[in-house]
Structure 1
Amino acid sequence: MLESTAASPNAPHVVAVDDDLSVRQLITSYLLDHDFRVTAVASEKEMRAVLGRDPADLVLLDLRLGGENGLQIARSLREQTKLPIIILTALRDEADRVMGLELGADDYLTKPFSPRELLARIRALLRRAKMHETVAEVVAHVRAYRFEGWELNVRLRRLRAPGGESLTLRNAEFNLLLAFLAAPQRVLTRERLLELSRLHNAEVYDRSVDVLVGRIRRKIEPDPQNPRMIVTERGAGYMFTPGVETLRG
């Protein structure tokens, strides 16, 4: 186990899980130079021990651990915590990368990787996580949003149409619609929507927002081909145009 102490006691704590000693040393040294606290371990058991005594801000997880299934570890982490997770994979292991993202990882990096890129991705993910916490604090006090006869029950994650029927929303659709309803009549860039809805791996799936907006439009717009509730602001992003009533309590 490798542990480092950053200059600031309030520095973000990254737990890196990789069975390659040279990779652990590289991560520890580089992040320490950029004011992070790092604990680098070789196994899930060591990772659990660290998380049990020293809360982390982010987990960096190699999917190809010797004798252990990194995908199962990622699934378990996501089920038990909201910690941001970046997975490390070999360039050829596309199936593992996709599966890791579907299991709840927030981003990935292929080996061999640039320490500078790793640092940039960690910082970006921590910013998104902090922003999500702020949004979550607001939403925690919101019971539902109403617009144009529709109602989105935040706690039940249920969308009710003006006629009373309930519509099923996938997790990403719910998060994106929630982001719109929390900031109505404001232009939101794709990047901002990705941050607010915490869609996975925005760098790769840079059109995810467009696809999901299309799905939501087909569910709530009278004419999805000529939308009037979620309108496109060319060169800027999207705007949710209706007035929104917020039900609290």
Structure 2
Amino acid sequence: MNDIHILIVDDDPDISAPLATFLADKGYAAYVAASAEAAEDMLEKVNIDLILLDIMLPGADGLDLCRRLRAKGGPRIIMVTALDDPTDTVVGLEMGADDYVSKPFDLRALLARIRAVLRRPAGAENARRAPAVELVMQFSGFTFYPYRRFVRSPAGLRVPLTGAETDLLLVLCQHAREVLSREELISLTRGRDFPISERSIDLLVSRLRRKLAGDDPFAETIRTVRADGYAFEPEVRVI
């Protein structure tokens, strides 16, 4: 497992040092950076698979770093947020973080989140390892490549997706024209025991709607069913 490289970005050594030791004990290669600038230097030297990214950093904060990394693709990101500030969670997800965890966190719960995020496809890395026959879906002129985490728009533009967006879109495509409650979406995307909130599902749906708007910003690809949940409207074809 030590071929999985995790970067801890946190300026508090009382948190980062024990966490690095814990991850090393679990078989991961763990690295530590105390600032966004140090993290970017590390990313130039090491092929990082996942970043545990604290929001409160000296200099550029974690949200700035998350935004810059997402603009380039970048590794998976779990934001580390303050327990008493839900705004951090919302903004982090909007910027494309794959998940979030609140301080103080239980190490076993954090490990479960890390493993869940690592199980998702990871863009370019997995594109190189893609099987000869890959799952591809089409709907409303879009072509969806869940293994490689992107959709191609009707105009031929590549639209990248985060891991969480990919998970959700895959579930919606697999249950096209069915009304799924938020609870069902949580269960189908993460599992019943995974602590993601209904608010997070709403944010992911909002992000997907923007990315799937295409040439018609008023097209209702994902329909809100009041008091019930969401339904994916297009007909989906596996090719």
Aligned residues: 202
Give CA deviations for 1:36-88 in whole Å, capped at 9, x if unaligned: 11001101222122111110110011100123322111111111124111111
After TM superposition, the score normalised by the length of structure 1 is: 0.61
* 2:77 paired residue number: 85
Q: Do the aligned partners of 1:19 and 1:41 also contact (CA within 8 Å) in 2?
A: yes
The whole-number CA distance in structure 2 between the counterparts of 1:220 and 1:93 is 32
Residue from 137, 145, 149 that aligns with 2:138: 145
Q: Do the aligned partners of residues 137 and 192 (structure 1) sit closer, same or farther apart at CA in structure 2, a change above 3 Å counting?
A: farther
- SS of the counterpart of 2:196? coil
Q: Do the aligned partners of residues 9 and 142 (structure 1) sit closer, same or farther apart at CA in structure 2, a change above 3 Å counting?
A: closer
* 1:21 paired residue number: 13
Residue from 117, 133, 152 that aligns with 1:125: 117
The whole-number CA distance in structure 2 between the counterparts of 1:92 and 1:15 is 24
Say yes or no: does 1:35 pair with 2:36.
no
- Aligned-residue offset at 1:175: 7.5
Q: Which runs of 5+ in 1 are unaligned?
A: 1-7, 160-169, 196-200, 232-239
Instruction: Map 1:133-212 onto structure 2 (within 5 A).
Output: 133=126, 137=130, 145=138, 151-154=141-144, 156-158=152-154, 176=168, 179-181=171-173, 190-191=185-186, 193-194=188-189, 203-205=196-198, 208=201, 212=205
The whole-number CA distance in structure 2 between the counterparts of 1:207 and 1:70 is 19
The whole-number CA distance in structure 2 between the counterparts of 1:110 and 1:194 is 20
The whole-number CA distance in structure 2 between the counterparts of 1:82 and 1:88 is 17
Give CA deviations for 1:113-162 in whole Å, capped at 9, x if unaligned: 1111111111111112469958x958x9788725xxx5435554249xxx
Q: Do the aligned partners of residues 88 and 142 (structure 1) sit closer, same or farther apart at CA in structure 2, a change above 3 Å counting?
A: closer
Structure 1 runs of 4+ off > 2 angstroms? 128-134, 140-146, 150-159, 170-186, 188-195, 205-209, 218-221, 244-247
Report which of the two structures shows the higher radius of gyration computed on alpha carbons. 1
Residue from 94, 101, 111 that aligns with 1:109: 101
Q: Do the aligned partners of residues 74 and 54 (structure 1) sit closer, same or farther apart at CA in structure 2, a change above 3 Å counting?
A: same
After TM superposition, the score normalised by the length of structure 2 is: 0.64
- SS of the counterpart of 2:198? coil
Q: Which runs of 5+ in 2 are unaligned?
A: 145-150, 156-160, 213-218
